[in-house]
Amino acid sequence: MQKAWFYEEHGPKEVLKFGDFPIPIPRHNQLLVQVRAAALNPFDCKMRQRAIVPIEFPVVPGCDMAGVVVSKGSGVSKFEIGDKVYGNIQDSNVDEKLKQFGTLAEFIVVEENLVAIKPENTVFIVGWAGGVGTLAVQLAKQFYRASHVVATTSTPKVEFVKNLGADKVVDYRKTRYEEVEEKFDLLYDTIGDTENSFVVAKDDAPIIDITWLPSNPKATYLGLKISGDNLEKLRQYLESGKLKAVIDPTGPYHFSDVIEAFRYLETGRARGKVVISPFPAQYFPSPSCIT
């Protein structure tokens, strides 16, 4: 058995419980990973609060993780037992059923194509100031070579976002979208405010909203495309320091403090990823014991 956080009904963070679950068995093309760190996402909160997509109770929340391969199913060719991996275990569109057992557990199973070898100089990373935004700014400059990146954030986070590489930072507490003089070739909204933010986009510019459903009919919803190959492409940027994994300075939170971590995430003050680590260092039997 293993320890995990779970909920048996939709509601506030207080519906989360801590208890025992069987250690899962990896099937064809799956890895069994002992979780060393996991991160919380606003999506985890939305899933817990209300029925967004079909899912069975009990639910173990969490999508992102970093950990160690401790067993593998038949057909696995990319990884060996002992490999340190990271990635997102959910591989489902919003209109499909999501996995019932997430990463806030000591052990998880994940398809090998969804993870990659963890870069040596980072503790945790997956997708502005949140977990997605801090990477979006850096990727726009380092990977996609955007010539001019402008980000919005609140007053306390302006210098923080500038240091990530943004050419200009707009403090939304002081400047309304209508007051931004420039018009942009791409609008990428991580907080679901396209109902208002669309005014800064050029007439024919793509408007991307990563929240579901977008608040503006002109916006295109961009769901998460999970790929271990894509993570592998980013490895050189992470190990060279050109791309930095940002962990909120209030953490990491211990595995026993998950409710407190969710409480902080829901304040909207996070800078980077809200990370859970360390997980219990439970003894795991040799792979021959897995049937």
Mean pLDDT, rounded, for 250-258: 93
Mean pLDDT, rounded, for 202-231: 81
Are residues 99 and 84 both part of a single domain? yes
Are residues 152 and 113 both part of a single domain? no
Are residues 199 and 112 both part of a single domain? no
Domain count, the chain: 2
Exposed, middle or buried, 186 (CB in 10 Å: 0-12/13-18/19+)? middle
> Are 59 and 5 a contacting pair, CB within 8 Å?
no
Domain boundary among 221, 251, 266: 221
pLDDT given for residue 279 in this prediction: 86
Q: Does position 291 have pLDDT exceeding 50, yes or no?
A: no
Are residues 28 and 109 both part of a single domain? yes
Query: Does the model's pTM come out above 0.85?
Result: no
Cβ neighbors of 61 (< 8 A, separation 6 or more) are 5, 6, 7, 16, 40, 44, 47, 48, 102, 103, 104
More confident residue, 33 or 222: 33
pLDDT given for residue 7 in this prediction: 97
pLDDT given for residue 289 in this prediction: 36
Q: Does position 196 have pLDDT exceeding 50, yes or no?
A: yes
Are residues 215 and 231 both part of a single domain? no
Round the average pLDDT of the chain to a whole number and report it.
85
pLDDT given for residue 266 in this prediction: 92
Domain containing residue 173: CATH number: 3.40.50.720
Query: pLDDT grade, residue 262 (50/70/90)?
Result: very high
pLDDT given for residue 129 in this prediction: 59
Are residues 15 and 115 both part of a single domain? yes
* Spatial separation of the C-alpha atoms in residues 38 and 35, rounded to whole Å: 7
| pLDDT tens sequence across 140-194 | 877 777 888 888 888 888 888 888 888 888 898 899 989 988 899 999 888 778 8
Domain boundary among 196, 221, 246: 221
Q: Does position 220 have pLDDT exceeding 90, yes or no?
A: no
The 8-class DSSP code of residue 132 comes to H
pLDDT given for residue 178 in this prediction: 92
CA-to-CA separations, 180 to 120, 151, 168, 186, in angstroms, rounded: 40, 11, 11, 15
More confident residue, 268 or 261: 261
| pLDDT tens sequence across 88-142 | 998 744 445 678 899 999 999 999 999 999 987 563 222 255 667 788 888 887 7
Q: Does position 258 have pLDDT exceeding 90, yes or no?
A: yes
Residue written as token pair 């057992």: 101
Q: What percent of the chain has pLDDT over 70?
A: 89
Domain containing residue 270: CATH number: 3.90.180.10
Are residues 197 and 247 both part of a single domain? no
Are residues 16 and 108 both part of a single domain? yes
Are residues 217 and 254 both part of a single domain? no
Are residues 28 and 122 both part of a single domain? yes
Domain boundary among 221, 246, 276: 221
Containing domain of residue 152, as a range? Answer: 132-221
Radius of gyration of the chain (CA): 19
Are residues 161 and 276 both part of a single domain? no
Are residues 97 and 150 both part of a single domain? no
